[in-house]
Amino acid sequence: MTAAPLARRFAELANAAIVRHPTPADQTRAVTYALDTLAVTLAGFVAPSSGPVLRVLTAAAGKPDATIFGVGRVTSVFDAALGNGAMAHALELDDDHRIAVLHPGAVVVPAAFAVAEATGASGRDFLSGLLAGYEVVCRLGEVFRGSQFYHGVHPTPLCGVFGAALAAATILRLDTETTVQALGIAGTQASGLTEWKADGSWIKRLHPGRAAHAGVLSAYLAREGFTGPATIIEGAGGFFNAFGYGEPLDVAGATAGLGAVLHGTGTAIKPFPCCRFAHGAIDLALEAHGLGIKLASIASIALKIYRTDVLSYHARPINPVDAQFNLPYVVAVALAVGRVTLGDFTDAAIARPKLLDLCARTSVVEDPDFNAKYPGEYWVELKLRLTDGSERKFLSTCPSGDPEAQRYAGDPGLLHREAQAKTRALLAECGFGAIAEKFITAVEALPKAPDVRLVADLLGRPPAPARRV
| Predicted confidence (pLDDT) per residue in 234-245, tens digit | 999 999 999 999
pLDDT band of residue 374 (cuts 50, 70, 90) is very high
Averaged pLDDT, 62-78: 95
What CA–CA distance (Å, rounded) separates 177 from 230?
A: 9
Answer whether residue 466 shows pLDDT above 90. Answer: no
At 157-172, the pLDDT tens digits run 999 999 999 999 999 9
Answer whether residue 14 shows pLDDT above 90. Answer: yes
The secondary structure of 62-98 as a DSSP string is -S--EEETTTEEEE-HHHHHHHHHHHHTTTS-S-BBT
What CA–CA distance (Å, rounded) separates 326 from 316?
A: 8
In the chain, where the domains are located: 6-271+413-459, 276-396
What is the 3 state secondary structure string of 26-72? HHHHHHHHHHHHHHHHHHHHHCCCHHHHHHHHHHCCCCCCEEECCCE
At 199-208, the pLDDT tens digits run 999 999 999 9
Query: In whole numbers, what is the pLDDT of the chain averaged over residues?
Result: 96
Measured on CA atoms in the order 230, 233, 234, 238, is the torsion positive or negative? positive
CB 143 within 8 A of CB 253: yes
Classify 225 in phi/psi space as left (phi over 0), alpha (psi -120 to 50) or beta: left
CB 302 within 8 A of CB 385: yes
Averaged pLDDT, 362-369: 98
Q: Report the CATH superfamily, name and number, of domain 6-271+413-459.
A: 2-methylcitrate dehydratase PrpD (1.10.4100.10)
* Residue of 117, 109, 108, 174 lying closest to 136 (CA atoms): 108
What CA–CA distance (Å, rounded) separates 204 from 3?
A: 36
pLDDT value of residue 467: 54
Quick one: fold of 276-396? 60s Ribosomal Protein L30; Chain: A; (3.30.1330)
Answer whether residue 1 shows pLDDT above 70. Answer: no
pLDDT value of residue 464: 79
Averaged pLDDT, 115-124: 98
Query: Which H or E run includes 184?
Result: helix 176-187
- pTM (whole model) above 0.85: yes
Provide CB contacts within 8 A for 34, sequence distance 6+: 109, 126, 127, 130, 443, 446
What CA–CA distance (Å, rounded) separates 444 from 416?
A: 10
At 261-278, the pLDDT tens digits run 999 999 999 999 999 999
* Residue of 117, 38, 26, 81 lying closest to 439 (CA atoms): 38
| Neighbour count for residue 461 (Cβ, 10 Å) | 17
Cα atoms in the 13 Å half-sphere on the side-chain side of 81: 33
* Residue of 76, 323, 86 lying closest to 206 (CA atoms): 86
CB 423 within 8 A of CB 459: no
Averaged pLDDT, 219-229: 97
Answer whether residue 228 shows pLDDT above 70. Answer: yes
In the chain, the percentage of residues whose pLDDT exceeds 70 is: 99
What CA–CA distance (Å, rounded) separates 70 from 432?
A: 9
Answer whether residue 469 shows pLDDT above 90. Answer: no
pLDDT band of residue 3 (cuts 50, 70, 90) is confident
For residue 385, give the 3-state DSSP assignment: strand
pLDDT value of residue 302: 98
